Chain A
Amino acid sequence: MSGYNFAYLDEDTKRMIRRAILKALAVPGYQVPFASREMPMPYGWGTGGVQVSAAVLVPEDTMKVIDQGADDTTNAVSIRAFFQKTADVAVTEATGKATLIQTRHRIPEEPLTKDQILVYQVPIPEPLRFLEPRETETRKMHALAEYGLMHVKLYEDIARHGEIATSYAYPVEAAGRYVMDPSPIPKFDNPKLHSAAIQLFGAGREQRIYALPPYTPVVSLDFEDHPFEARKAEGACGLCGAEDSYLDEVILDDRGGRMFVCSDTDYCRTRREAEEAA
């Protein structure tokens, strides 16, 4: 598209964001401040993820955008259209074919490879935020690795619900040092954070970027007598029959009818196509 630089952002901005990304990769889980730009979409729609994607995107990339695991939801469709328009890159819905995947709230079911980059949209990057409202204090807590408060939250969960009820945005410790918020992915996806792909997290409104380099050890916080447990809805997908994928509940009518289907639409479709072919 004429009148715009490749992938919307100007080169100076991309350079600034890339420097933040490099720093974030060097210190896994550390929140690097960056000068977040106004994007032509509202905060909460993935302005952080879009800026990170724009900064790492090259013309040879094949891009995939998912929202809650689905390729066809509003957020995914509009961000995909945005990059088709401003960067003219190839797009795909197939996880395996994509080189850059921007995601909101899910990690694809298909294991990622070392040739891929996964970009997360992050609403609130600070895992301690709802426990400690002062930014000066949370920064100090990160600097001194004072993370006892994170366990107070898990303690409260068990005291109130009999188990760790936090089911998304489940706090993790990256590379044995920084505690980070893995963005609101379900805790079912937490084990997948240990990945061959580069994982970048962008929070536009909060102006923070953090990252997990490939194969970073990621530990979900827990108690010795209440260990972390990746969990999903019971049963199999109503469409493809997968028992190992994360399920969404779909309401079918107003008489209590419902079904559970894979939240990862590409995974579900691939399985059904393979079944039909067989």
Chain B
Amino acid sequence: MTPILSVQDLEKRYGARIGCTGVSFDLWPGEVMGIVGESGSGKSTLLGCLAGGLTPDKGQVIFDMADLGPQDVLKLSEPRRRMLARTDWAFVHQNPRDGLRMGVSAGGNVGERLMSVGARHYGNIRETATDWLDRVEIAHDRIDDRPRDFSGGMQQRLQIARNLVTGPRLAFMDEPTGGLDVSVQARLLDLIRGLVHDMGLSAIVVTHDLAVVRLLADRLMVMRQGRVVEQGLTDQVLDDPQDAYTQLLVSSVLQV
């Protein structure tokens, strides 16, 4: 089996400062990988380098493309990379305002990806949008409302629907549950877990919330000061942390 994403010795520097360095891992089809670490540990930088928002200074990001097989994403032409970003990839932002068009109706938001890959039949686009709103538990009669009239949880669910409508194979999620209250968080996690499972999606989830990775991720990578300090199966890392920093992180979780 070929890994869907293979990262080798990735490095990104901001001048003399290290964003992230020496990151290597393989992500296998259907696998969810969590990246945890404190603020400033390089999680978001790493995610940016993987998803094409940032240009790494060193290393390779090899994606198993549907037609061409494994390709270094950083060497792809820009049209190809942008095409990838709206078909095979999904990117869920922490703040739904970054991932949604706030002035466009919910249906239009979900339909945009379809139209950008050539859908030109209004009835079909609308039908697919309705179906996806259903899957993320947004009522049908909200399809023509704009996301700015939605609650935070609904906006996040809409963002997920908008991203998954083209049936991507790899999803990048940056703190998908950040800023939501615990009950909404729980429902969203349930939803994401269901969708990932149903669609056989591979995902990389960046978060500082250990409970989120415990629920979502099969495998875990702990970052500190731009470096990966520990990686392994989620339960293994969380229950039996080896690195001193991971031990600190795990013991810092507040108990209710």
The reply to whether the CB of A249 lies closer than 8 angstroms to some CB of chain B is no
Chain B residues 103-130 with CB under 8 Å of chain A are 104-105, 107-108, 111-113, 115-118, 120-123, 125-126
Our pick among A146, A149, A223 for the contact of B122 (Cβ within 8 Å) is: A223
Please tell me if the beta carbons of B144 and A152 are within 8 angstroms of each other in the complex.
no
Given contacts A155-B108, A156-B105, contact A148 B115 (CB under 8 A): yes
Q: How far is the CA of A63 from the CA of B9 in the complex (A)?
A: 68
| CB < 8 Å neighbour of A146 from B82, B105, B126, B143 | B82
Q: Which chain B residue lies CB-closest to A148?
A: B116
List A contacts of B105 (CB < 8 A). Answer: 156, 159-160
Question: Could you write out 17 A-B pairs with CB less than 8 Å apart?
Answer: A148-B113, A148-B115, A148-B117, A148-B118, A151-B115, A152-B108, A152-B111, A152-B115, A155-B107, A155-B111, A155-B115, A156-B104, A158-B122, A159-B144, A223-B121, A224-B121, A226-B122
A158→B120 CA distance, assembly (Å): 13
A155 touching B116, Cβ below 8 Å: no
Determine whether A252 belongs to the interface, using a CB cutoff of 8 Å to chain B. Answer: no
Interface positions of B (Cβ within 8 A of A) = 78-79, 82, 101, 104-105, 107-108, 111-113, 115-118, 120-123, 125-126, 143-144
- Is the C-beta of A274 less than 8 angstroms from some C-beta in chain B? no
Q: How far is the CB of A66 from chain B (nearest CB, A)?
A: 34
Which residue, B108, B121, B123, B144, has most C-beta atoms of chain A within 10 A? B108
Measured in the bound complex, the distance between the Cα atoms of B17 and A227 in whole Å is 56
Contact residues in B for A158 (Cβ distance below 8 Å): 122
CB-based closest 9 A-B pairs:
A148-B116, A148-B115, A223-B122, A151-B115, A224-B121, A144-B79, A152-B112, A225-B123, A159-B144
Which residues of B sit under 8 angstroms from A152, Cβ to Cβ?
A: 101, 104, 108, 111-112, 115
Q: Which residues of A contact B113 (CB under 8 A)?
A: 148
Chain A residue numbers with a CB within 8 Å of B121 are 223-225
CA distance A156 to B123 in the complex (A): 13
Contacts of B115 in A (CB 8 A): 148-149, 151-152, 155
Q: Closest approach, in angstroms, between the C-beta of A134 and any C-beta of chain B? A: 13
- Tell me, rounded to whole Å, the shortest Cβ–Cβ distance linking B120 to chain A: 5
Residues in A neighbouring B118, C-beta threshold 8 A: 148
Given contacts A148-B113, A152-B112, 18 further A-B pairs with CB under 8 A are A144-B78, A148-B116, A149-B112, A151-B120, A152-B108, A152-B111, A152-B115, A155-B108, A155-B111, A155-B115, A155-B125, A156-B105, A158-B122, A159-B107, A159-B143, A159-B144, A223-B122, A226-B122
**Interface members, chain A 135-158 (any B CB < 8 Å):** 144, 146, 148-149, 151-152, 155-156, 158
**Contact between B107 and A146 (Cβ–Cβ < 8 Å)?**
no
Q: How far is the CA of A131 from the CA of B118 in the complex (A)?
A: 18
Indicate the member of A131, A156, A158 with the most B CB atoms within 10 Å: A156
Across-interface contacts of B122 in A (CB, < 8 A)? 155, 158, 223-226
Cβ of B107: which chain A residues have Cβ within 8 Å of it? 155, 159
Nearest CB of B to A88, in Å: 50
B233 → chain A, closest Cβ, in Å?
Answer: 40
Chain B, residue nearest A130 (CB) = B103
Chain A residues within 8 Å of B104, by CB:
152, 156
B8 CB, min distance to chain A CBs, angstroms: 28
Q: How far is the CB of A10 from chain B (nearest CB, A)?
A: 40
